[in-house]
Amino acid sequence: MSGWTAYSEDMPKDGGRLAAEASVEIPTPAEGEVWTVGAVILNRDGKAFAQKRGPHRRLFPNCWDIVGGHVEPGEALLGALAREVEEETGWRLRRVLRLLGITTWTGDDGAGMRHEADYLVEVDGDLGHPALEWSKHTAYDWFGPGDLARLKENRAPGEYLIHDLIAKALQDRPDRARP
């Protein structure tokens, strides 16, 4: 990874503006690196959105996943994040609250190593009715602290990235009262 940028101004998206908190760090991919992005979306009840990948997906079939996907060549990470949120849910990315983490992983699809930047975000849209890509996903649900174990379904020990990201977002969510 070649570097980090902290954005303090709005990011353009389809003629609109996408706000990113001043403290949000955005990695700058190095030449030739493959990147993915992910979004943890919380509803008013403080539960996190996840969708179940279909049984015929090459990577992580029948597993719970957050919204996200691959960054296209020449695409900015936050632009890819906004695109993926809209493609996978029909919602529009409003604000990037914070970076939850960067991971590096290799899938079993032969595409090599990927870097993944995952963010806690706010969206606009009807959160009760996501427009899922039903050809890719079979279900969706909202997960609170008592539901986290379900996120480990069909995953081997040590493969709990989605569980861990959502647990972190629920623990450290911005609206949570601090002692």
Lowest mean pLDDT across 37-46, 80-89, 164-173:
164-173
pLDDT at 177 over 50: no
Residue in 139, 36, 131 with CA at minimum distance from that of residue 87: 131
Residue 178 inside a domain? The answer is no
Work out the average pLDDT over 112-119.
92
The domain of 40 spans 33-171
Residue 50 within a domain: yes
pTM: 0.85
Kindly report the CATH number assigned to the domain that includes residue 82.
3.90.79.10
**60 in a structural domain:** yes
Is 9 inside any structural domain? no
Average pLDDT over residues 108-130: 90
Residue 104 in domain: yes
End-to-end CA distance of the chain: 36
**How many domains, in total, are found in the chain?**
1
pLDDT at 174: 59
Residue 63 falls inside a structural domain: yes
Determine contact, residues 27/7, Cβ cutoff 8 Å: no
pLDDT at 96: 95
